[in-house]
Amino acid sequence: LTLFQYKPGIASKLLIGFSTTLPSVVPSRFSGSGNGKYFTLNISSPQPEGAEIYDCLHNYNNPPTVI
């Protein structure tokens, strides 16, 4: 599972790579869990100041899923 965050006017940001690995620049409010077929994205404190779009790439042979 790979998860990207998109905000209008800002470059996309990698949030989760290889299922649960978060880059050090990702805020601690994000976490990921799961393996194989089922994965979960947790956001402990959603930010009210603007919309966020998340693209989930669960299989390199399939298109991303927007959540």
For residue range 45-65, what is the model confidence (pLDDT) as tens digits? Answer: 777 665 677 777 665 555 555
Cα–Cα nearest to 6, from 59, 50, 44? 50
pTM for the model stands at 0.51
CATH class held by domain 2-66: mainly beta
Count CB neighbours of 19 within 10 A: 15
Q: Do the Cβ atoms of 54 and 3 come closer than 8 Å? A: yes
What is the tens place of the pLDDT at every residue in 11-56? 887 777 765 666 677 778 777 777 767 777 778 877 766 567 777 7
How far is Cα of residue 38 from the mean position of the Cα atoms in its chain? 14
d(CA 38, CA 54): 17
